[in-house]
Structure 1
Amino acid sequence: MDELVVGTYEGFVLGYSLRSDDSIQKLKQTFATQSHTASVRCVSIAGKFLASGGTDDKIVVIDMKSRKEHTVLMNHDGTINTVAFTHGGTHLLSQPVTAIAVHPSDKMALSIGGDKTLRTWNLIKGRPAFTINLASKGVLLPTEIRFSPGGDRFSLISQQTVDVWTISKAGVEKRMTCNSKPTSVQWIDDERLYVGLENGNIITLTVTDTQALTYQAHKQRVKSLHYESEMLYSASSSGELKVWSVDDSKLTEICSCNASCRVTCVTLNRQNHLVKKEEKSDEDEKPETVEDQKDSDSDNSDLDEKEEVKPKRQKRKPGAFVSISYGDEEEKKAAPPPKKK
């Protein structure tokens, strides 16, 4: 079951899963941990690793398979505004900037900051490529940047506008003005995208059409959106979480709940990645029987002893404790995490 991971202003990172209860789908809490001493600004996940950054100047990486803290990155001199894994899950990018977006090819990244510039980064060589002055393009104070699934376009949101840029021209292809300040964008495909607004609405925009569909999603401003597998997840500043089914750009609410915290960001933990890795690791760690050893000896009798490789179980390094409280079948509030000793 996929988990919706939520960062909060109170420093908590929470998890929720969509479960069926008497043919009614509900969001139930799966874990809660207070890994930060200040508000969580961003969360990102790749494979089994979840990274969260906050105003306490650190990044906490949690192993979602073992449900333990994996490591803490402390070498930052300011608030962690954004973190982003490469799509291959091999690198984690963090910068004292407003937002980061990694290209689907993992060869390039884009960043925006308070200096009103758009910077392109070569991830193969690990150095900046070029810089664009956003003020010259009519973009003021951008707050979020996001690539389309194909990587041919990316979106920039600022003030009352959503700008769609093309990689080939390195310029604005289309500018869409909203009736309220946009706060979050999620691409559905290379043509369509959802935009969360400060007035609590979610609108559907297309690159080729000027018409926008408006949905009254929340009573307070939309803080974050996440789209995955024809499902849209939205969170408001009041702590309200909602799950929507997407059918031809039409939104249908499935369920909702309240996190009882001020939500700042969301992402999705796809459990199918963990299941595949668990099955593979369990098979690799299966103890070798005597019969298997005999068969192996007979089949590889012509090999030298130096070339023989025997599987060894690697000891897991102890990680810091992260409290995990799983939701029971009966709906109830998750207990607050115990204090670390």
Structure 2
Amino acid sequence: MEIIIGTYEEFLVGYRLVSKSEDSPGFDSEDVSKRKKLFLKQSFSNHAHSGSIRTIASSNKFIASGASDEIINLINIKHRVEKGTLSAHNGTITDLKFFRSSYLFSASDDGKICVWDTHKWQCQKILHGHKGSIKSIDLHSSGKILLSLSSDKTLRAWNLIKGRCAYIINIKDVANQVLWSPTNHYFAIVFNDHIDVYDIGNGSIVHSIVKNQLNYSKRLGKLLFIDDNHLIISGDEQELIIYRIDISEVINRFNAHENRVKDIELIDLETIKDDSLYLEQFSKSTKFLVTISSDKLIKIWSIDCDNLKTPPILIAEIDVDCRPTCMTVWTNNQNLQLNGGIDIPELKLSDEELETCRAKLKSKRIEKQNQIATIQNTVNSDTNTSNDSNSNEFLESNQKDDDDELIIKSMRSESKILKSKSRLKGKKLPRRHKILNDKKNYLKKISTKRLKNKK
């Protein structure tokens, strides 16, 4: 597991989560908890941009970062090499999202959304429509729908199969973030002073969370879904809030940092495949919450999703000595993680579709049985005295005859083409040849007339 942050100082910096064993320096034998203690260690740094970094995204193989220099920088995280840069925007890159390891979606202040093929790194499509800068984008887990939020006070849903806008929702204020719920049944829009949760079925607001309900005095920031019923809310304050939607209540709040929280990420432990981290010490319901703040700290918290009222436990932190702006978390099993590489869910047929499929299969079987019955009847009528082996030979010969007829038909069609070509050599010439012959005859006539006049 590796946390990559973007900074105001134009750098990308990576921090790897590692464990401290008994042999490590600084181990205290009296403190048993240190046997399995985790801590963060810097893994790389890269001066990737010539402006402050605004957004980062990760796939199974690549890290993409966007900045105010209007450029997307690419790093192959597996081989630890720079891949290059992408430039198609005329404004600050505001958001980046990967779909698995196949496509990268980039949004910008210029109002455009670019779709990049990650194999050739070419811009396959540009989605136009927004009249203002794009604040946030998020992908449906199927990869078929993209939500985009703009300063023109509209939310657009894009049909990525057809490559066009499916519908538009007008909103009252400029919003900062849009994101899907884990099941994709809902999506949320985050404003400065409230949060609206929409039902994807009818496109209406099913729940609204006002800042006063949260006892929050400052601006709301990033939002995460734990599940369809629980949210983690951050903002310009030091606190993080866990909110339950169905009862409209704050069920937990804790001080995460000494300054405002800049970004948050929730990590499923199933996406981390590293035996050295001793992850078996955590329960199956545990998830890691990663937070970064203006206080220059990265913190990792363990959250028990079965009992969200219990306060999260701080398991690792590090002072990065720079001003972080955004982050992404790269794991070695990224496809399972919904926040980074997106896993396509298993397609399920409805009962009606299953019935129609079964009916079609039945009709096909009945047709085959009828065909076999008619063939057998003809065979029995023609060869009453023949045995089973002869009838089988007869069926095979009929099949061969049918194949021969098909071959003969194809040969006849080919022979027609050959005949039409051979006719060109005869009297019936195409118009082009006819014109040429007429010209030759005309020239001959003129030449003979001139010779006669001279004489």
TM range (shorter): 0.7 to 0.9
The one-letter code sitting in structure 2 at the alignment partner of 1:10 is E
Q: Supply the distance in 2 between the matched residues of 1:246 and 1:5 (Cα, whole angstroms).
A: 21
Matches within 5 A, 1:318-337: none
Which stretches in structure 1 are left out of the alignment for 5+ residues?
Answer: 275-341
Deviation at 1:71, TM superposition (A): 2.4
The alpha-carbon distance between structure 1 residues 130 and 12, as it changes in their structure 2 partners (threshold 3 A), is same
Q: Secondary structure at the match of 2:161?
A: coil
Task: Kindly indicate whether the alpha-carbon contact (under 8 Å) linking 2:179 and 2:189 is maintained by their aligned counterparts in 1.
Answer: yes
Highest RCO, 1 vs 2 (Cα 8 Å, sep ≥ 6): 1
Which structure: greater strand fraction? 1
Matches within 5 A, 1:125-274: 125-135=162-172, 140-178=173-211, 179=216, 180-212=218-250, 213-229=252-268, 230-247=287-304, 248-249=307-308, 250=310, 251-273=312-334
The one-letter code sitting in structure 2 at the alignment partner of 1:105 is S
Task: Kindly indicate whether the alpha-carbon contact (under 8 Å) linking 1:161 and 1:181 is maintained by their aligned counterparts in 2.
Answer: no
Q: Supply the distance in 1 between the matched residues of 2:74 and 2:58 (Cα, whole angstroms).
A: 9
Which residue number corresponds to residue 279 of structure 2? none
Q: Secondary structure at the match of 1:188?
A: strand
Q: Supply the distance in 2 between the matched residues of 1:56 and 1:70 (Cα, whole angstroms).
A: 18
The one-letter code sitting in structure 2 at the alignment partner of 1:33 is N
Task: Kindly indicate whether the alpha-carbon contact (under 8 Å) linking 1:194 and 1:205 is maintained by their aligned counterparts in 2.
Answer: yes
Which residue number corresponds to residue 116 of structure 1? 153
Task: Kindly indicate whether the alpha-carbon contact (under 8 Å) linking 2:60 and 2:333 is maintained by their aligned counterparts in 1.
Answer: no
Q: Which deviates more from structure 2 when the two are superposed, residues 47-56 or residues 207-216?
A: 207-216
Which structure: greater helix fraction? 2
Cα RMSD after superposing both structures: 1.4
Deviation at 1:258, TM superposition (A): 1.5
4+ residue segments displaced more than 4 Å: none
Q: Supply the distance in 2 between the matched residues of 1:104 and 1:122 (Cα, whole angstroms).
A: 13
Which residue number corresponds to residue 95 of structure 1? 107
Task: Kindly indicate whether the alpha-carbon contact (under 8 Å) linking 1:82 and 1:99 is maintained by their aligned counterparts in 2.
Answer: yes
Q: Supply the distance in 2 between the matched residues of 1:239 and 1:209 (Cα, whole angstroms).
A: 35
The one-letter code sitting in structure 1 at the alignment partner of 2:238 is G
Which stretches in structure 2 are left out of the alignment for 5+ residues?
Answer: 22-34, 109-133, 269-286, 336-455
Task: Kindly indicate whether the alpha-carbon contact (under 8 Å) linking 2:4 and 2:12 is maintained by their aligned counterparts in 1.
Answer: yes
Matches within 5 A, 1:305-324: none
The one-letter code sitting in structure 2 at the alignment partner of 1:262 is R
Q: Supply the distance in 1 between the matched residues of 2:81 and 2:194 (Cα, whole angstroms).
A: 41
Give the structure with higher Rg (CA): 2
Percent identity (aligned): 32
Partner deviation per Cα, 1:210-259 (whole Å, 9 max, x = no partner): 22121111111111000011111011122211101010324221121111
Deviation at 1:109, TM superposition (A): 0.6
The one-letter code sitting in structure 1 at the alignment partner of 2:318 is C
- The answer as to 2:108 corresponding to 1:51 is no
Which residue number corresponds to residue 35 of structure 1? 48
Which residue number corresponds to residue 279 of structure 1? none
Number of matched pairs: 268
